Amino acid sequence: MLAVTKFTSALAVIGLLAGPALAQDATTPTPTPDAATDAPTTDADTAPADNVGGLSLGEDPNSTPQVGQTYIKEEIGDWALQCVKSEEGEEEPCQLYQLLRDETDNPVAEIVLFRISGGGQAVAGASVVAPLQTLLPSGILLSVDDGQPKKYPFSVCSRVGCVARIGLTQAEVNAMKNGKQANIVIRPFNAPDIEVKLPASLIGFTAGFEKTTEMPIGEQ
Cα dihedral value 64, 78, 197, 35, nearest 10: -30
Amino acid identity of 113?
L
Global pTM? Answer: 0.70
The widest CA-to-CA distance across the chain, in whole angstroms, is: 52
pLDDT digits (tens, 9 = 90+) for 25-79: 433 444 444 433 344 444 444 444 455 565 766 666 666 766 767 789 999 999 9
pLDDT digits (tens, 9 = 90+) for 118-140: 878 999 999 999 999 999 999 99
What's the pLDDT score for residue 40?
Answer: 47
DSSP letter for 204, please: T
**Alpha-carbon gap, residue 122 to 126, rounded angstroms:** 10
What's the pLDDT score for residue 156?
Answer: 96
List Cβ neighbours of 130 (8 Å cut-off, separation of 6 or more). 108, 109, 140, 154, 161, 162, 163, 164, 186
Would you place residue 176 in the very low, low, confident or very high pLDDT band (cuts 50, 70, 90)?
very high
**Alpha-carbon gap, residue 155 to 169, rounded angstroms:** 19
What's the pLDDT score for residue 58?
Answer: 63
The residues with which 196 forms a beta bridge, in sequence order, are 186
What's the pLDDT score for residue 185?
Answer: 98
* CATH architecture of the region 66-216: Sandwich (2.60)
Amino acid identity of 163?
V
